[in-house]
Structure 1
Amino acid sequence: MIIATAGHVDHGKTTLIRALTGVDTDRLAEEKRRGLTIELGFAWLPSETGEPLGFIDVPGHERFIGTMLAGVSGVDMALLVVAADDGVMPQTREHLAILQLLGVRELALVISRCDLVAEDQCESIAEQVQALAAEAGWFNADVWRVSSTSGQGIDALRQSLLARAERRQVRPSDSPARFMIDRRFSVAGAGCVVTGTLVSGRLQVGQNLWLHGQEVRVRSLQRASSEVAEVKAGQRCALNLGGAVSAEQPQRGDWLSEQVLPLSDRLDVSLTQLPDSRWHRGVLQLHLGTAIHSVRVVLLDEAAGLAQLMLEQPAAAVWRDRFIIRDPAANTTLGGGRVLDPQGLRRGRSHPQRLAWLSAWAAASTPGEVMAAALQQGAVALPELALKLNLSADQLEQLLPAEGLIVLAAAGHRVALTVEASEARWQRLAERLADWHQQHPELLGPGEGQLGLVGCLQLPLPVARQLLQRWQAEGRLQRAAWALHLPDHRPQLQAGDAELLARVAAELAPGGLRPPIVGELATALGIELDVLKAFLQRMQRAGELVAVAPNRYYLPSQVEGLVAVARQLVADSPSGSFNAAEYRDASGIGRNLTIQVLEYLDRAGVTRFVREQRFLVAG
């Protein structure tokens, strides 16, 4: 259990921790000289259960609010310390607001230096602090009246904290690890050491983690000054790192993560504004984790509390990460909130559909609810969603509904959409095809580019093609070579075209996989070459013929034969691929025509050429 102090400067936070643990957290000479905390201090309190309590001592001075924020990020509980002889002060209120914005659930109120004032004054201060806590949402916060010098109330407070630690619900550790660094130093003979809190997952000695896109290795782990083999989510520890470490990295504010989280300079967030504060267009400070970023705030829907944070330098974040916004010029806290989408949009960020999507994510409290909300909004890119939620592949699979879901995977994309979303896309495609057939009755149908497939289905092209194949298998859609058409559509040939097409087909069919070239066809039919070429091009647009090469046309059934040869070669190959020579021998069509045919199959999306080998495209 990790506990942070909070409160105004010189209200006895450091002295309280020393009284509870016996550890003086002021370790810097300047801190000793000035009698105030400047840097974060840490102390441990052993417990009988073997799980020690970690204390983080934060500065109370307004100049060191940034350091204070680094200390309270990711804690389980806070002690709000108010001196009985001083009362509630500016940083008391600001620290309390920060704890509220960061979502710290457990709070204890500690009235310090009670031995210096009369009992009635101590009670008056306690009532005032309780009222402030209740306004911020802590209605039943315990109040402790203590004196760190005389020992009054210290033992009772210590026992209460130990009891809370025993009752504390352990955080799940099945998500990928994310470690928040709040301090970095070097140890002779060991090298780089960082301290911080493991926000999610678990860490083990020898584990590899990512830091700014480079790998580092956990050489050893320490918790409560003792070597351990493993650390779990919610625990504080020190890591001795090897690998890609340097004098510049890691530093406070960096994250160590089990998976590579994408960086973004736009975060779409749920934003809460503190009373009497005002957002402005200037540069503000974003406190995210233990890092500080320069940021501008763009309000997307002020009534709903939706905004976009535009960072000067990109950062990594995940859904529900807490943050604070401060005005560095006025040295005041303006508000804070939660990250909704760590990959904010550049265009369409204020579109009603986008705002509805963000509102649904803001209302969600679990990854399962996020998944359900995302599926209701449309297609979901599953790998990207897993990173936004910091989920493992297994965790993501468990969130997928068992029924009413279609999952498409192709070319590195994996997309899920509901049956209802698929049907809506089919209706859009069918309407667009019907319009196209009406405008071009003489043609069989458009190709993917003419149809605007990606814009119509709003899916990556490889995945959109998979959806087309599903509709083809269901009989809703038909395809001849490159042309897509509705099943009941037939091109309306010009007068005389049907008769000439039959004559052409009679000449092409006997050629099998090697039909005659255009010149030979013109001679056989007794037609002028230019007239025949115009006719063949017209028949290609109608979907009746396929120009596999500039001077060679095939019937659609002959093209199916070319594809069948490729499929058989792949089926018979241990590597699942074939080369041009193998296709030439299997088809018997000769070297030059083989090259033309294979290039056509590549263009048609049947095969993919990689290092002199050809593979079938998925589906």
Structure 2
Amino acid sequence: MIIATAGHVDHGKTTLIHALTGVDTDRLAEEKRRGLTIELGFAWLPSETGEPLGFIDVPGHERFIGTMLAGVAGVDMALLVVAADDGVMPQTREHLAILQLLGVRELGLVISRCDLVDDAQRERVVEQVQALAAEAGWANADVWRVSSTSGQGIDALRQALQQQAEQRETRPSDSPARFMIDRRFSIAGAGCVVTGTLVSGRLQVGQKLWLHGQEVRVRSLQRASSEVAEVHAGQRCALNLGGAVSADQPQRGDWLSEQVLPLSDRLDVSLTQLPESHWHRGVLQLHLGTAIHSVRVVLLDEAAGLAQLMLEQPVSAVWGDRFIIRDPAANTTLGGGRVLDPQGVGRGRSKPQRLALLAAWSNASTPSEVLAAALQQGAVALPELALKLNLPAEQLEQLLPDAGLIVLAAAGQRVAVTEPFCEARWQHLAERLADWHQQHPELLGPGEGQIGLVGCLQLPLPLARQLLQRWQTEGRLQRTAWALHLPEHQPQLQVGDTELLARVVAELAPGGLRPPIVGELATALEMELVALKAFLLRMQRSGELIAVAPNRYYLPSQVEGLVAVARQLVADSPSGSFNAAQYRDASGIGRNLTIQILEYLDRAGVTRFVREQRFLVAG
């Protein structure tokens, strides 16, 4: 259990920790000289259960609010320390607001220096602090009246904290590890050491982690000044690191993560603005984890508390991360909140559908609820959402509903869509095709580009083709070569074209996989080349013929034969692929025509060319 102190400068936070643990957390000479906490201090209190309590001593002076924020990020509990002879002061209120914005659930109220005042003054301060805490959301916060110099109330406070630590539920450790660094130093013979809080997952000696896209290794672990083999989510520890470490990295504010989390300079967030705070469009300070970043705030929906943070340098974050916004010029805290989408969008950030998704994510409290809200809005790219939630992709897929869902997979992408989403997309596509057939009765149907397939289905092309294949299997849709059409549609040929088409078919069919070229066809039909080309182009648009090469047309049945050769080669190949020479030998059509046919199969989405080999495209 990790406990941070909070409160106004010189209200006895450091002295309180010393009284509880016997450790003086003011370790710097300047802190000793000035009697003022400047840097974060740490202390441990042994527990009878073997799980020690970790204390973080933070500065109370307004000049060191940034350091204070680094200390309270990720703690389990905070002790708000208020001196009985002073009462509530400016930093008391600001620290309490920060604890509220960071989502610290457990708060204890410590009235210090009780030996310096009479009972009436002490109780006036107690009432004042309780009212302040209740207003901030801690109506039932426990109150301890102590004196760190005389020892009054210290034993009772220590016993209560230890009991609370024993009863506290441990955080789940099944997510990938994320470690928040708040201090870095070097030890002779060991090298780089960082301290901080393991926000999620677990760490083990020898484990590999990612730092700014580079790999580091956990050489050893310490918790409460003792060597350990493993630490779990919610625990403070020290890591001795090897690998990609240097004088510049890591530093306070950096994250170590088990997964490579993407960087982004836009964070879509749920934002709470403190009363009487004065916001402006200039550069503000974002306190995220233990780091400080320059940021501009764009309100997307002020009534719903939705905003986008635009950073000067990209950061890695995940859904649910807490943050604080401060005005560095005025040295005041303006507000804070929670990260909703760590990969904020540029275009369409204020569209109703986008705002509805962010509002749903703002109300969500679990990854399951985030996933459910995303599915209600449309297609969900599962690997991308898993990273936003800091989950393994497999773990996220275990949260998918058992029924009413379709998972599309192609070209390394996996997207989940609901059946109502698919049905709505089909209705939209069917309407487009019906309009096309009405406007072009002589044509078989449009190609994917002509129909605007990606925009129509709102899916990447490989996944859109997966839906097309599904609808073809269901009999709703037909595809002849490149043309998409409704099953009931038949192109209406011009007068005279039917008879000429029959003559052309009679010349092409005997050629098998190598029909005659256009010039040879014109000679056989005794037609002018220009007139024949115009006819062949009309037949291509109607779907009766297919231009596989610039000077060679095929019947649809002949194209099916070309595809059958490719499928047979793949079926017979241990690698599931084939090259041009193998296709040439299997088809017997010659080298030049083989190249033209294979390029056509690539364009038609039948095959995929990778390093001189061709693979069949799924679907």
Q: Normalising to structure 1: TM-score of the pair?
A: 0.99
Counterpart for residue 560 of structure 1:
560
Q: Matches of residues 152-191 of structure 1 in structure 2 within 5 Å?
A: 152-191=152-191
Q: Distance in 2 between matches of 1:345 and 1:397?
A: 24
Specify the alignment match of 2:421 in structure 1: 421
CA positional deviation for 1:210: 0.7
Instruction: Name the amino acid aligned to 1:268.
Output: D
For 1:36, the equivalent position in structure 2 comes to 36
Equivalent residue letter for 2:113: R
Q: What does 1:48-67 align with in structure 2 at a 5 Å threshold?
A: 48-67=48-67
Runs of 4+ in 1 over 4 A off after TM superposition: none
Helix, strand or coil: the match of 1:544? coil
Amino acid across the alignment from 2:332: T
Equivalent residue letter for 1:464 = A
3-state SS, counterpart of residue 42 of structure 1: strand
The superposition leaves residues 164-212 of structure 1 with CA deviations (integer Å, 9 ceiling, x where unpaired) of 0000011000011110000000010111110000000111111111111
Partner of 1:438: 438
Q: Which amino acid aligns with 1:154?
A: I
Q: Deviations over 1:505-526 (max 9, x none)?
A: 1111111111111111112212
Amino acid at match of 2:181: I
Measured in 2, the distance between the counterparts of 1:176 and 1:543 equals: 53
Shifted more, 511-520 versus 371-380: the winner is: 511-520
Partner of 1:484 in structure 2?
Answer: 484
1:364 equivalent in structure 2: 364
Range 434-443 or range 26-35, more displaced:
434-443
Paired residue for 1:305? 305
Listed as ranges, the matches of 1:357-506 within 5 Å are 357-506=357-506
Between the aligned partners of 1:130 and 1:41, the Cα distance in structure 2 is 27
Tell me which residue corresponds to 2:102.
102
Cα offsets for 1:303-335 (capped at 9, x unmatched): 111111111111111111100011111111011
Q: In the TM superposition, what is the alpha-carbon distance from 1:440 to its structure 2 partner?
A: 1.0
SS in 2 for 1:81: strand
* Matched AA of 2:479: R
Q: Which amino acid aligns with 1:338?
A: R
CA distance, structure 2, for counterparts of residue 613 and residue 394 of structure 1 = 31
Matches within 5 A, 1:514-525: 514-525=514-525
Letter in 2 for 1:540: Q
Q: Which residue of 2 aligns with 1:269?
A: 269
Which residue is equivalent to 1:534? 534
Question: Which residue is 1:73 aligned to?
Answer: 73
Shift of 1:118: 0.8
Partner SS state of residue 488, structure 1: coil
Matched residue SS, 1:406: strand
Q: Deviation at 1:393? A: 2.2
Say which SS state the counterpart of residue 399 (structure 1) adopts: coil
Query: Separation in 2 of the partners of 1:70 and 1:471?
Result: 54
Does the 8 Å contact 2:382/2:397 carry over to 1?
no
The answer to whether the Cα contact below 8 Å between 2:84 and 2:114 also exists between their aligned partners in 1 is yes
Quick check: 2:273–2:334 contact (8 Å CA) kept in 1? yes
Cα distance, 1:49 vs. partner? 0.7
Rounded to whole Å, the distance in 1 between the matches of 2:379 and 2:394 is 20
Q: Could you tell me how far 1:609 is from its partner in structure 2?
A: 1.1
In structure 1, what residue type is equivalent to 2:513?
L
Distance 2:355 2:324 in 1: 22
Q: Offset of 1:571 from its aligned partner?
A: 0.7
The corresponding residue for 2:548 is 548
Give the alignment's Cα RMSD to 1 decimal. 0.7
Q: Which amino acid aligns with 1:265?
A: D
Aligned to 1:123: 123
Shift of residue 592 of structure 1?
1.4
Amino acid at match of 2:331: N
Write the distance in 2 (CA, Å) between the matches of 1:393 and 1:442: 48
Could you tell me which residue of structure 1 aligns to residue 597 of structure 2? 597
Q: Tell me how far apart the structure 2 counterparts of residues 81 and 612 of structure 1 sit (CA, whole Å).
A: 71
Q: Any residues of structure 2 matched to 1:125-274 within 5 Å, and which?
A: 125-274=125-274
- In structure 1, distance between residues paired with 2:394 and 2:235: 24
Deviation at 1:279, TM superposition (A): 1.8
For structure 2, the 5+ residue unaligned runs are: none
Contact 2:382 2:393 in 1 (8 A): no
SS at 1:605 equivalent:
coil
1:585 offset after TM fit, Å? 1.0
- Taking the aligned partners of 2:375 and 2:88, their CA distance within structure 1 comes to 48
Give the 3-state SS of the residue equivalent to 1:20 in structure 2. Answer: helix
CA distance in 2, matches of 1:360, 1:316: 22
Q: Give the Cα separation in 2 of the matches to 1:324 and 1:152.
A: 35
Q: Distance in 2 between matches of 1:450 and 1:425?
A: 17
Between the aligned partners of 1:556 and 1:532, the Cα distance in structure 2 is: 19
- Cα drift, residue 347 of structure 1: 1.1
SS at match of 2:398: helix
Unmatched runs of 5 consecutive residues or more in structure 1:
none
* SS in structure 2 of the partner of residue 66 of structure 1: helix
Aligned mates of 1:225, 1:18 — CA distance in 2: 17
**Separation (CA, whole Å) in 2 of partners of 1:618 and 1:485:** 21
Q: Is the 8 A contact 2:3 2:55 kept in 1?
A: yes
Contact 2:602 2:608 in 1 (8 A): yes
When structure 1 is superposed on structure 2, of 55-64 and 518-527 the one drifting more is 518-527
Using the TM superposition, give the Cα deviation of residue 612 of structure 1 relative to its aligned residue in structure 2, in angstroms.
1.2
- What do residues 381-432 of structure 1 show as CA deviations (whole Å, max 9, x unaligned)? 1111001111112320111111000100111211110000001111111111
Q: Tell me the alpha carbon deviations over residues 565-607 of structure 1, each in whole angstroms, 9 at most, x when there is no partner.
A: 1011001100010011111111111111111111111111111
> Could you list the per-position Cα deviations for residues 42-83 of structure 1 after superposition, in whole angstroms to 9, with x for gaps in the alignment?
000011111000000000000000000000000000000001
- Residue 278 of structure 1 and its aligned partner are, at CA, apart by 2.3
Separation in 1, partners of 2:135, 2:468: 57
Where do 1:298-377 residues align within 5 Å?
298-377=298-377
Mapping of residues 574-585 of structure 1, within 5 Å: 574-585=574-585
Task: Please name the residue that 1:7 is paired with.
Answer: 7
The CA distance in 2 between the partners of 1:157 and 1:436, in whole Å, is 77
Distance 2:516 2:273 in 1: 76
Q: Secondary structure at the match of 1:222?
A: strand
Percent identity, please: 89
Secondary structure of the corresponding residue to residue 282 of structure 2: coil
Q: Give the corresponding residue for 1:509.
A: 509
Q: Secondary structure at the match of 2:171?
A: coil
* SS, match of residue 490 in structure 2: coil
Distance 1:510 1:556 in 2: 14
In 2: Cα distance, 1:394 partner to 1:532 partner: 57
| Distance across 2 between alignment mates of 1:365 and 1:199 | 17
What is the CA deviation profile of residues 471-527 of structure 1, one whole-angstrom value per residue up to 9, with x for unaligned ones?
Answer: 111111111110111111111111111111111111111111111111111122121
With 601-610 and 162-171 compared, the bigger mean Cα shift is at 601-610
Distance 2:225 2:445 in 1: 73
Question: SS of 1:490's equivalent?
Answer: coil
Q: Is the 8 A contact 2:4 2:55 kept in 1?
A: yes
Q: Which amino acid aligns with 2:520?
A: E
How far apart, in 2, do the equivalents of 1:462 and 1:242 lie? 41
Question: C-alpha separation between the residues in 2 aligned to 1:210 and 1:378?
Answer: 32
Alignment-mate amino acid for residue 495 of structure 1:
V
Q: SS in structure 2 opposite 1:104? A: coil
Q: Structure 1, residues 247-281: CA drift from partner, whole Å, max 9, x if none?
A: 11110000111111111111111111111112211
Amino acid at match of 1:42: F
Alignment of 1:270-285 (within 5 A): 270-285=270-285
Report the Cα distance in structure 2 between the residues aligned to 1:591 and 1:614, rounded to whole angstroms.
16
CA offsets per residue over residues 114-173 of structure 1, 9 Å max, x none? 111111111111111011000000011110011111111001100000000000011000
